Amino acid sequence: MWKSLGALVLVAGFVACSSPDERVQSFDFGPYTIEASQESTKNCVQLSLDNDDPLFVSTVELTTGPGFHHSNWLFVPESIFEGPDGTFNCNDRGYSEVVAAAFGGVLFAQSTQLPHEIQAFAPGTAVRLPPRTKLVTQLHLLNASEVALTAHPNIKITSIPEAHVEIPLTAMSFQNQALALPVGRQSRFAVECDIAERHRKELGRDPDFSIYYALAHYHELGTGLTLDAIRADGSSANIFTTAARVGDSLGGPITPAFDMSGFSKLRMSCEFYNPRSEVVRWGIGEQEMCVFLAFSDSSYLWGGGVMQRDAPTTETQVGNVMQYTSPCQLISLPSH
């Protein structure tokens, strides 16, 4: 069985760092023992930041080790998912990433099975965390080996003074659950989201924000993710592309930042190759996912895609690749 000791240690509160203007909070959590051939997504972690003033986070560093498949870190008010810090059963507090994003936002997402990762924004850019904030995440632990593994994770949050922040960042996240990877084929699953229509409705103007950072999430059958911006005339420009595989970094800064001015839609496309004898769908374990996280300077949080496990639509074959497109369910919320 998967076991957690549920311990958590805040290492010396704000600890020393390389710049006198920066502050670092370092948290050890766990440890977690994952038995051979075991997988678990039932447990969550809460870390209180005990901040009376806003924090402006410029860097997140996560160190996990083997057996730590994936984790998305969100910030929420202390009053949400109430309970002590440390590891807890997600169901006991009704944990939901959708609820967490609605009351707070996304801070960091781990590349699939990457044991050490640093998310560092460009100088002068940072994510604002409101006063009395805590971090929450759902753990996805996976041990495909024949021996038990023990992980001793640590996460470090580096913040900078508000006076040094020129561009505040907010998260945007899209997913496509309409996956059905055909047997023995290369496939591509796309979803297009009309940002301009909602932007005009909410803000009274066309999109005018820029995207500064992006990260993909897929499993071992994923061969790449592409994010494109589409103009009203159907022409497009690439924002972000990765062909990295599981165990490598799947994200990074977009330099220079991509300006959405003049573009109407975002199109996310995930590519896969399925060598197995059965169709692979959305899910954990040996199933697949198609997700991207990005950070922009928009005053709104953007998200959506295909939020339920629908069958893919609009199947076409282009060369040896089976292509599918699905309609987008768009979510927009004012940033906190």
Per the prediction, the chain carries an average pLDDT of 90
> What's the CATH fold of domain 169-334?
Jelly Rolls (2.60.120)
How does pLDDT run across 222-272, given as a tens digit for each residue?
999 999 999 999 999 999 999 877 767 788 899 999 999 999 999 999 999
Tokens linked to 220: 């071992």
Assign 114 a pLDDT band (cuts: 50, 70, 90). confident
Sheet containing strand 32-34, edge to edge, reads 3-4, 32-34, 149-151
Rounded CA separation 291/11 (Å) = 32
Rounded CA separation 230/207 (Å) = 12
How does pLDDT run across 165-208, given as a tens digit for each residue?
999 999 999 999 999 999 999 999 999 999 999 999 999 999 99
Range with top average pLDDT, 185-189, 286-290, 331-335: 185-189
The structure's pTM equals 0.86
pLDDT at 20: 65
Q: What is the CA radius of gyration of the chain?
A: 20
How does pLDDT run across 196-229, given as a tens digit for each residue?
999 999 999 999 999 999 999 898 999 999 999 9
The percentage of residues in the chain with a pLDDT greater than 90, rounded to a whole number, is 69
Instruction: Assess whether pLDDT exceeds 90 at residue 111.
Output: no
Question: In 3-state terms, what secondary structure has residue 243?
Answer: coil
> What is the 3-class SS of 167-233, one letter each residue?
EEEEEEEEEECCCEECCCEEEEEEEEEEHHHHHHHHHCCCCCCEEEEEEEECCCCEEEEEEEEECCC
Tokens linked to 84: 């002590």
Burial string for 148-162 (b: 16+ CB within 10 Å, else e) reads: ebebebbbbbbbbee
The percentage of residues in the chain with a pLDDT greater than 70, rounded to a whole number, is 93
Stretch 2-29: mean pLDDT, rounded? 56
Domain 3-164 sits in CATH 2.60.120.310 = yes
CATH 2.60.120.230-classified regions of the chain: 169-334
Q: What is the residue type of 26?
A: S
Other C-beta atoms lying within 10 Å of the C-beta of residue 224: 17
Phi, psi of 250 (to 5 degrees): -110, 15
Helices (H) and strands (E) in the chain, counts: 2, 29
Q: Which residues, other chains included, contact 31 with Cβ-Cβ below 8 Å and sequence gap of 6+? A: 4, 5, 7, 150, 151, 152, 153
Question: In 3-state terms, what secondary structure has residue 336?
Answer: coil
CATH 2.60.120.310-classified regions of the chain: 3-164
pLDDT at 34: 87
How does pLDDT run across 127-166, given as a tens digit for each residue?
999 999 999 999 988 888 889 989 899 999 999 999 999 9
Q: What would the DSSP string read from start to end of 1-38?
A: --EE---EEEEEEEE--SSTT-EEEEEEE--EEE-TTE
